[in-house]
Amino acid sequence: MKTLKFNCPRCAHQIEMPFTMRGHVLNCPQCGQLFNAPNPYRFTWIYILAFALAVAFLIYCVVSQQMESSNMINRPGPDWK
């Protein structure tokens, strides 16, 4: 079973708990302070979304650049009659 180790924000007592309890409200066994257990995956979805948007924008830029350059080749110049 995976465990999560962290320190109490008030007394710095080291706490170990099952990984499945991440994000839950806990009491420190030493000082009794209430706090939320850390959640290492809390912002993972934000990073995934930002990466997906960056890739989509990059693909859009490359495709639009290719389309523009191909249109420039096939477009007649100003002296075309």
Structure tokens at 7: 């320190």
Q: Report pLDDT for 41.
A: 73
Query: Rounded to an integer, what distance in angstroms lies between the CA atom of residue 34 and that of residue 61?
Result: 49
Q: Is the pTM of this model over 0.85?
A: no
Q: Report pLDDT for 72.
A: 56
Structure tokens at 51: 């990466």
**Residue 80 pLDDT exceeds 80:** no
Task: Identify the band that residue 78 occupies on the pLDDT scale cut at 50, 70 and 90.
Answer: low
User: Which single residue is written with the structure tokens 């990073």?
Assistant: 47
Residue pLDDT, tens place only, 4-51: 899 998 999 999 999 888 888 999 999 999 998 888 776 778 888 999
Structure tokens at 57: 């924008």
Which sequence spans correspond to the domains of the chain?
3-36, 43-75
